[in-house]
C-alpha cells in the first residue's frame, strides 16, 4: 500500500507540475499576443495619421493652385476688356450719333383713311430705313412724302446754304428726279465724326519712344597704352604689384615697342628673382631697339650679378661710345675682369672726361696700363689718383706701393 500511495503521490505531483507548465506556457503567449496587438494598432494609427496629413497637404495645394488660376484668368479678362474699351472709342461715339439721328427722323405710318396717293407715299416711306453709317445715300421724293413741318424747315434752311457749304458725300444725300437736296444732319449743322477702325485707333495710341544710341570711340594704341601705364603706376603706389604686372603685360600686347612698360615689367620680374624671364623680356626689347641703352644696361647687370660677365660684356659693347656714366663704369669693370684692358682703358678715359675729379677712374686707368706694360702712363695715372685724395685707404696704399715699385 505504501508503494501504491507513493506512486499516486508521484502521479499527483506530476499532474500538478504539468498543469503548472501548461498554465505558464499558455499565459506567456497570451501576454505576447496582447503586446503585438497593441503594437500593430499603434502602427496602423500612425499610418492613418500620415495618410491623412499627406491628403490634407495635397488638398490645400490643389486649392491654392485653383485660386491662382482663377486670379490669372480674371486678370486676363480685365486686361482684354480694358484694351477693347480703349481701342474703340470712336465706334461707340459714332453709334450714339447714328441712334440719335434715327430717333430724330420720324417715319410716316399707314392709316386706313389715306387715299391711293397716301398709300403709295407710305409704301415708299416703309422702304426708307435708318441710316447705318455716314456714307449712306437716301433717295427721297419730296412731292410724294409728307415730312413733318420741322423737317421741312430744316430742309429749306439747308437748301438755302447748300451752295456755301462744302459738298461731300459724307455731309449730304443725293435726291433724284428734280427733288431737293436734304442733309443728313439736324437743323444745327454739325460735322459728323468719321468711323474709325480699331487698327486706326490703336495706331493713334502708339507713342513714339525716344531712342538712346551709344557710340563707342575706340582709343588709339598710344592712348590705350598711356591709360594702362597710368593705372599700373597707381597700382605700384598701392603696392599692388600683381595688378601692375598684368597692366604692363597688356601694354606690351598692344604696343610691343613700348620701352617703359618693358623696363618696368623686367624690373618687377627681377624683383621676384625671375632672372631668365627678365633677361628674355629685355632681349626682345633690344631686338626691337638695338641702340636702347637702358635695356642693355639692365640686362648686363642681371648677367653680371649671375656671374655671367662675358654675356654682360657682349651686351654692352654695341654701346661702348655711350656718354652714360653707368654704362661706361660697368663696361670698364667687366673689361678689367675679363682682361680686356684695351676696352677698359677706353672706358676709363671716357669716365675721366666726364668726371675728372674722381680718383677711382684714374686708379682703374693706371691698373689697366700697368697690366699692359705701359708703365710711364701708368705711373702718371697713379699720381693723378693719389692727388685726387678721394680714394679709400686700401686703394691709396695700393697706388703708393705701385709708384714705389715703378721707381718713384
pLDDT band at 407 (very low <50, low <70, confident <90, very high): confident
**Same fold? 220-319, 323-408:** yes
In this predicted model, what pLDDT tens digit does every residue of 269-309 receive, in sequence order? 999 999 999 999 999 999 999 989 999 999 999 999 999 99
Distance of CA 116 to the CA centre of its chain: 89
Name the CATH superfamily, with its identifier, for domain 220-319: Tetratricopeptide repeat domain (1.25.40.10)
First to last CA, the chain: 163
| CATH number of this structure's domain 323-408 | 1.25.40.10
Grid coordinates in use for 160?
438755302
Grid coordinates in use for 180?
431737293
| Average pLDDT for the chain | 73
pLDDT band at 65 (very low <50, low <70, confident <90, very high): confident
Q: Got the DSSP string for 84-121?
A: HHHH-HHHHHHHHHHHHHHHHSPPP---TT--HHHHHH
The conformation of residue 391, written as its DSSP 8-state character, comes to S
Q: How many CB atoms lie within 10 A of CB 69?
A: 10
371 and 359 Cβ atoms separated by less than 8 Å: no
pLDDT reading at 169 higher than 90? no
Q: Which residues pair with 359 in a beta bridge?
A: none
CB crowding 45-55: b at 16 or more within 10 Å, else e: eeeeeeeeeee
- Taking every pair of Cα atoms in the chain, the longest distance, rounded to a whole number of angstroms, is 172
Stretch among 56-60, 216-220, 379-383 having the lowest mean pLDDT = 216-220
In this predicted model, what pLDDT tens digit does every residue of 225-235 receive, in sequence order? 999 999 999 99
Of the candidates 205, 252, 195, the one whose C-alpha atom is nearest the C-alpha of residue 84 is: 205
Domain boundaries, given as residue ranges, for the chain: 145-162+171-187, 220-319, 323-408
CA atoms of 245 and 248, how far apart (whole Å)? 5
Amino acid at each position: 500500500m505504501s508503494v501504491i500511495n507513493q506512486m499516486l503521490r508521484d502521479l499527483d505531483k506530476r499532474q500538478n507540475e504539468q498543469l503548472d507548465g501548461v498554465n505558464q506556457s499558455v499565459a506567456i503567449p497570451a501576454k505576447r499576443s496582447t503586446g503585438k496587438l497593441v503594437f500593430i494598432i499603434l502602427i496602423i494609427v500612425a499610418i492613418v495619421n500620415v495618410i491623412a496629413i499627406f491628403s490634407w497637404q495635397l488638398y490645400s495645394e490643389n486649392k491654392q493652385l485653383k485660386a491662382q488660376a482663377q486670379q490669372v484668368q480674371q486678370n486676363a479678362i480685365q486686361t482684354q476688356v480694358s484694351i477693347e474699351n480703349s481701342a474703340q472709342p470712336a465706334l461707340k461715339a459714332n453709334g450714339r450719333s447714328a441712334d440719335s439721328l434715327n430717333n430724330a427722323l420720324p417715319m410716316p405710318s399707314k392709316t386706313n383713311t389715306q387715299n391711293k396717293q397716301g398709300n403709295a407715299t407710305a409704301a415708299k416711306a416703309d422702304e426708307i430705313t435708318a441710316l447705318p453709317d455716314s456714307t449712306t445715300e437716301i433717295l427721297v421724293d419730296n412731292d410724294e412724302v409728307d415730312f413733318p413741318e420741322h423737317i421741312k424747315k430744316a430742309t429749306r434752311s439747308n437748301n438755302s446754304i447748300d451752295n456755301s457749304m462744302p459738298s461731300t458725300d459724307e455731309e449730304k444725300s443725293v435726291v433724284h428726279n428734280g427733288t431737293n437736296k436734304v442733309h443728313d444732319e439736324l437743323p444745327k449743322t454739325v460735322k459728323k465724326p468719321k468711323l474709325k477702325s480699331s487698327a486706326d485707333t490703336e495706331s493713334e495710341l502708339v507713342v513714339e519712344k525716344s531712342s538712346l544710341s551709344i557710340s563707342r570711340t575706340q582709343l588709339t594704341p598710344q592712348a590705350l597704352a598711356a591709360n594702362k601705364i597710368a593705372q599700373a603706376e597707381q597700382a605700384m603706389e598701392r603696392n599692388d604689384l600683381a595688378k601692375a604686372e598684368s597692366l604692363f603685360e597688356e601694354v606690351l600686347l598692344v604696343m610691343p615697342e613700348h620701352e617703359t612698360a618693358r623696363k618696368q615689367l623686367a624690373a618687377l620680374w627681377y624683383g621676384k628673382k625671375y632672372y631668365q624671364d627678365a633677361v628674355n623680356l629685355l632681349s626682345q626689347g633690344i631686338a626691337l631697339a638695338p641702340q636702347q641703352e637702358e635695356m642693355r644696361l639692365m640686362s648686363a647687370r642681371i648677367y653680371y650679378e649671375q656671374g655671367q660677365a662675358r654675356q654682360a660684356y657682349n651686351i654692352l659693347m654695341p654701346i661702348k661710345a655711350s656718354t652714360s656714366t653707368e654704362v661706361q663704369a660697368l663696361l670698364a669693370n667687366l673689361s678689367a675682369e675679363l682682361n680686356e684692358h684695351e676696352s677698359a682703358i677706353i672706358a676709363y678715359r671716357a669716365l675721366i672726361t666726364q668726371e675728372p675729379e674722381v680718383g677711382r677712374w684714374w686708379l682703374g686707368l693706371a691698373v689697366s696700363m700697368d697690366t699692359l706694360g705701359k708703365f710711364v702712363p701708368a705711373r702718371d695715372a697713379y699720381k693723378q689718383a693719389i692727388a685726387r685724395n678721394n680714394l679709400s685707404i686700401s686703394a691709396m696704399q695700393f697706388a703708393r706701393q705701385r709708384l714705389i715699385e715703378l721707381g718713384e
